[in-house]
Structure 1
Amino acid sequence: MLVWINGPFGGGKTQSAYEIRRRLPGSVVCDPEHVGFGLHRMLPPALRADFQDLPAWRRSVYEMLDLALTAYEGTVIAPMTVVEPAYFREVVGRLRERGHDVRHFALLADRETVLRRLRERGFGHAVRLFAGKDAPLRRESFAVSKLDHCLERLRGEEFAEQVWTDRLTVPQVADRIAAAAGLTLAPDTDQALRGRLRRTWTGVKHIRFD
């Protein structure tokens, strides 16, 4: 099974994906964003626009996920924002046509909730720590600029199933996704501090400077 976790930038996709992986033995996270970063590095900086607009990205993500789903026995989890219906069909639609069991979830929240999470999430503070307090948080700025568009698009029927996360913790979001997908997660035994440290470390590991 592929569990595709969609949602606005800063909506909790990566945290939810790694929470599921932590509590679902044999599962693996395959992040389509890595393909985009690799393609960007091959291009001159002036040509590095939205990598989802590159047919090579959509084709590569489809092929890599098709390989993982064909050759790997465990559940595959893909945290990735995709809001263009044509791009969604080109990747998720093709995987379904190929016969793979794809469960899609769009994590949604009120605009103010997402903005608060963007302000609080770890990489912003880490960027200031390592690059200086005046360093531009390019990814945060990009996330804010795309927020309204993402929230509007992801309410559409083609992006069902939607999960509203305003009043849910990360473990609760993982529980909700797993239940809808028919997956059984191990109980969440983290105490509050340990869980917060774990999620902070997950955020730090996914800091990008390019």
Structure 2
Amino acid sequence: MLLWINGPFGGGKTQTAHEIQRRLPGSVICDPEHPGFGLRRMLPPELRGDFQDLTSWRQGVVEVLDLALTKHDGVVIAPMTVTDLDYFAETVGRLGELGHDVRHFTLLAERETVLRRLRERGFGHLLRYVAGKNAGLRRESWAVQQLDHCLERLREPEFAEHLWTDHSTVPKTADRIAVLAGLRLRPNNESALRTRLRQAGVGIRHIRFD
């Protein structure tokens, strides 16, 4: 089974993917962002744009996920924002055509909720104290620029199943996905403090500098 977790940048995809992987034995995260940034770094700066526009990225994601789904004995989790319907068909849709059990979920939240999460992710809490409460948003300027477009497009029925997360924690969102996909996660026995520390670590590891 493939769990493709969609949503706006800053919407909680990566945190939710890691929560599921932590509590679902045998599952793995195969992040389509990794080859995207690799392809982007291959280009001179003036030619760098949205790596999803590269046919090589879309075809490569399908090839790698097809291999993982065919050879790995466990659930594969792919956290990735895709808002273009054609690109969605070429990746998520194509994997379904290849015969894989693809479960697609879009995490949605109100604009202010996503902005708050963008302020806080990575070193956001520290930046708020050092450089003001909107310092995190300045660091996440590209995600902020894409936010309204993402929220508008991802509400479309083609991107169901939609999960609203404004009033949901990451563990609860993971639980909802598991129930809808017919999976059973291990109980979440972490303390609130340990959860916050672990999620902070995930956020820091996924900071991008280019």
What is the TM-score with the length of structure 2 in the denominator? 0.94
Tell me, yes or no, if the aligned pair for 1:123 and 1:206 is still in contact at 8 Å: no
Q: Which stretch of the first structure deviates more once superposed, 143-152 or 117-126?
A: 117-126
5 Å-filtered alignment, 1:104-183, equals 104-124=104-124, 140-183=140-183
Give the aligned partner of residue 101 of structure 1: 101
Tell me, yes or no, if the aligned pair for 2:62 and 2:94 is still in contact at 8 Å: yes
Residue 136 (structure 1) shift:
9.2
C-alpha separation between the residues in 2 aligned to 1:13 and 1:88? Answer: 16
3-state DSSP class of the match of 2:57? helix
How many residues are treated as equivalent by the alignment? 207
C-alpha separation between the residues in 2 aligned to 1:43 and 1:136? Answer: 27
C-alpha separation between the residues in 1 aligned to 2:96 and 2:33? Answer: 20
C-alpha separation between the residues in 1 aligned to 2:131 and 2:32? Answer: 30
Residue 209 (structure 1) shift:
1.0
Give the aligned partner of residue 190 of structure 1: 190
1:110 alignment partner AA: E
Give the aligned partner of residue 52 of structure 2: 52
C-alpha separation between the residues in 2 aligned to 1:137 and 1:39? Answer: 26
Q: How has the CA–CA distance of structure 1 residues 30 and 138 changed in structure 2, closer, same or farther, with 3 Å as cutoff?
A: farther
C-alpha separation between the residues in 1 aligned to 2:9 and 2:123? Answer: 13
What is the TM-score with the length of structure 1 in the denominator? 0.94
C-alpha separation between the residues in 1 aligned to 2:142 and 2:208? Answer: 13
Give the aligned partner of residue 72 of structure 2: 72
Tell me, yes or no, if the aligned pair for 1:124 and 1:140 is still in contact at 8 Å: no
Give the aligned partner of residue 205 of structure 2: 205
Tell me, yes or no, if the aligned pair for 2:6 and 2:107 is still in contact at 8 Å: yes
Unaligned runs of 5+ in 2: none
2:91 alignment partner AA: V
Residue 205 (structure 1) shift:
0.9
Q: How has the CA–CA distance of structure 1 residues 36 and 138 changed in structure 2, closer, same or farther, with 3 Å as cutoff?
A: farther
Identity of aligned pairs, percent? Answer: 70
Residue 121 (structure 1) shift:
1.1
RMSD: 1.9
Residue 133 (structure 1) shift:
5.9
3-state DSSP class of the match of 2:140? helix
1:147 alignment partner AA: L
Residue by residue, what CA displacement relative to the aligned partner does 1:25-44 show, whole Å, maximum 9, x if unpaired? 00000000001111011111
C-alpha separation between the residues in 2 aligned to 1:114 and 1:6? Answer: 14
C-alpha separation between the residues in 2 aligned to 1:19 and 1:186? Answer: 10
5 Å-filtered alignment, 1:13-24, equals 13-24=13-24
Residue 23 (structure 1) shift:
0.2
1:51 alignment partner AA: F
Unaligned runs of 5+ in 1: none
